[in-house]
Chain A
Amino acid sequence: NAGVTQTPKFQVLKTGQSMTLQCAQDMNHEYMSWYRQDPGMGLRLIHYSVGAGITDQGEVPNGYNVSRSTTEDFPLRLLSAAPSQTSVYFCASSVQGRVGNEQFFGPGTRLTVL
Chain B
Amino acid sequence: GNSVTQMEGPVTLSEEAFLTINCTYTATGYPSLFWYVQYPGEGLQLLLKATKADDKGSNKGFEATYRKETTSFHLEKGSVQVSDSAVYFCALRTGGSYIPTFGRGTSLIVHP
Partners in one complex: no
Binding site for A on B (CB under 8 A): none
Which residues of A pack against B, CB within 8 Å?
none
